[in-house]
Amino acid sequence: MREENLTLRGMRNLLPDEKAKLNRIEGEIRRLFKIYGFQEVETPTIEPLELFELKSGEEIRHRMYRFTDLGGREVVLRPEATASIVKLVVQEMRSVPLPIKIGYVLNAFRYDEPQYGRYREFKQGGFEIFGAKSPLADAEILEISSRLMEGLGIKDYYIKIGHEGVLRAALNHFSIEESVQDRVLGLIDKERLTEAFEILGSLRKGGEAINIIRSLWEIKSRDPDEAFRRTGEVLKEIPEAVNQLENLREIIELAKASKVGEFLIDMGFARGLDYYTGMIFEVYVKNLKIAVNGGGRYDKLAGLLGWDVPAVGCAPGIDRLSLAMDEKTVPRDDLVCMIISMVKEGDIIAAKLAGMLRLTGVPTLVDYTRRDVSKALSYASKRNVKYVALIGGREVEANTVVLKNMGTGSQEELEIEQVVEKLSSYSLQKA
RNA sequence: GCCGCUGUAGCGUAACCAGGCAGCGCGGUGGCCUGUGGAGCCACUUGUCCGAGUUCGAAUCUCGGCAGCGGCCCCA
């Protein structure tokens, strides 16, 4: 019988090199949790359908892995993490002092067509701040996003940033109701302006709205001052929109103060998730056309779940960061010692030495095969082992081992305590 | 959902355009060589994604399916 492809479309087996690279990225994310005071949590992979029907956005909603479980419940594999995290905070953390800073590293699932940087199961990290309205919190999320890129050695990135509040304030000004706003912003996000304008055109004050939105959409600039000046011009008749714009200006000013990298201000930028209310952004790597991180402010989402608390956050895509990293692989953890027992009588010494080395924290392999010494050495060499301990008839007699340095080829005969002493400097420190 | 490219042993590849014995590398197994030749040598191992068509003859050309990769759309 021949096995067919037993891996599902869009799913991946992660081999040692790729997995090591992903671990490196997760490690960097967790390091930032500590530095910025985020506490890591985990939520269920499977969630009730309602949780994501609230405010996920049409695009994501119809790409969910969705099924009825054996108890008759309508469930989904989480298509993203934010809704779950908000639920966790709302349901379990009401007595924790604000602001609450939550971090996570989770997988998520979307039934998209697989392509470059897109898989049906993917991993994202996340940083979410609850209970802070200040632009300082928005700026901190940008700062973290920037530090993450630098921490991974990715220099050529920029942050595309816009403000959902500005767009919504403008639409509110023309009394356009929220569900229509969601649809229109969704279309603008997809650059389908004509369709968005058709919808607006059919409304009472639609014509004026179209002019404003079109003007905003045209403002895309790497120079924040220029972008804000032009936007201020466009919005001067709409005080609430001017307030929202001021919020974005402050956020960028604060972010600049903490050395956040290059911005691309895009006033026509909207995101596919309906829950955003303020600043929104995506991080791009030049010459890689896909976003590696995205986020923004969502002050109303928690309220829908029963606790009206403002929030801002971001979700870096771990698989995509891996694609963006210059280093193709990260160095493997080197093994320090391999013990080769050439005769049965040597096995007891091998077991004893291996036990002592491992208790000391020295990464150690035992050769189980009793193959030719030369073949065992070949294996040790390919596995990047630093030292080989050989035990043959003579060593059994003398109660010693021969320790060979694989780098230099030199070797010496030692008692096992001396081997442990010599290799103890390679001990992995306890976590 | 639509479009393009690709599919050869466990893995990586050659032969495909221009139809004619499917070859190589790595790996695995067994063996030879006094216990370090990090080797070498010998033997074995295993394959044209699935299905139809054209042809004396198909890995090769045609059609369909499936899958992988990538593009559109959207996102992480």
Does A356 have pLDDT greater than 80?
A: yes
Confidence bin at A69 (pLDDT 50/70/90): confident
List domains and CATH numbers for chain A.
10-152+293-330 (3.30.930.10), 157-285 (3.30.930.10), 337-426 (3.40.50.800)
Q: Which chain A residues in 216-235 sit with Cβ < 7 A of strand B?
A: none
Residue A272, CB, strand B, below 7 Å: yes
- C-alpha span between A431 and A425 (Å, rounded): 16
Residue A413, CB, strand B, below 7 Å: no
**Residues A312, A141: contact at Cβ < 8 Å?**
yes
Q: Which chain A residues in 70-109 sit with Cβ < 7 A of strand B?
A: 80
Residue partners of A79: CB distance under 8 A and separation at least 6: A52, A56, A60, A61, A63, A64, A65, A108, A109, A110
Partners of A128 in beta bridges = A102, A313
**Residues A312, A132: contact at Cβ < 8 Å?**
yes
Judged by C1' against the alpha carbon of A388, the nearest nucleotide is B36
In this predicted model, what pLDDT tens digit does every residue of A272-327 receive, in sequence order? 667 889 999 999 988 788 889 999 999 988 998 889 999 999 999 999 999 888 66
Q: Find the Å distance, CA of residue A9 to C1' of nucleotide B62.
A: 28
**Residues A236, A124: contact at Cβ < 8 Å?**
no
Judged by C1' against the alpha carbon of A292, the nearest nucleotide is B76
pLDDT over 70 percentage in chain A:
95
Residue A398, CB, strand B, below 7 Å: no
Q: Find the Å distance, CA of residue A137 to C1' of nucleotide B11.
A: 49
**Residues A396, A343: contact at Cβ < 8 Å?**
yes
Hey, is A98 helix, strand or coil? coil
- C-alpha span between A16 and A326 (Å, rounded): 18
Q: Find the Å distance, CA of residue A118 to C1' of nucleotide B18.
A: 39
Residue A10, CB, strand B, below 7 Å: yes
Q: Find the Å distance, CA of residue A117 to C1' of nucleotide B56.
A: 49
Cα within 13 Å of Cα(A11), Cβ side: 7
> Strand A74-77 relative to strand A46-48: parallel, antiparallel, unpaired?
antiparallel
CA A359, A360, A366, A372 torsion: positive or negative? negative
Residue A294, CB, strand B, below 7 Å: yes
Reference A91, options A305, A299, A276, A267; nearest CA is: A305
Q: Find the Å distance, CA of residue A5 to C1' of nucleotide B11.
A: 15
In this predicted model, what pLDDT tens digit does every residue of A10-45 receive, in sequence order? 888 888 888 888 999 999 999 999 999 999 999 999
In this predicted model, what pLDDT tens digit does every residue of A186-239 receive, in sequence order? 788 777 778 888 888 887 777 788 888 888 888 888 999 999 999 999 998 899
Check residue A287 and give its pLDDT.
75
Judged by C1' against the alpha carbon of A119, the nearest nucleotide is B76
Residue partners of A12: CB distance under 8 A and separation at least 6: A119, A121
Residue with the larger pLDDT of the pair A139 and A21: A139
Q: Which chain A residues in 231-270 sit with Cβ < 7 A of strand B?
A: none
Residue A157, CB, strand B, below 7 Å: no
Does A2 have pLDDT greater than 70?
A: no
Residue A399, CB, strand B, below 7 Å: no
Hey, is A121 helix, strand or coil? strand
Q: Find the Å distance, CA of residue A2 to C1' of nucleotide B9.
A: 13
Judged by C1' against the alpha carbon of A8, the nearest nucleotide is B67
Within 7 Å of a protein beta carbon, the nucleotides of strand B are 1-3, 32-33, 35-40, 67-76
In this predicted model, what pLDDT tens digit does every residue of A231-277 receive, in sequence order? 999 998 899 999 999 999 999 999 999 999 899 999 988 876 678 89
In this predicted model, what pLDDT tens digit does every residue of A376-408 receive, in sequence order? 999 999 898 999 999 999 999 999 999 999 999
Residue partners of A306: CB distance under 8 A and separation at least 6: A90, A91
**Nearest amino-acid residue to B74, taking CA and C1':** A59
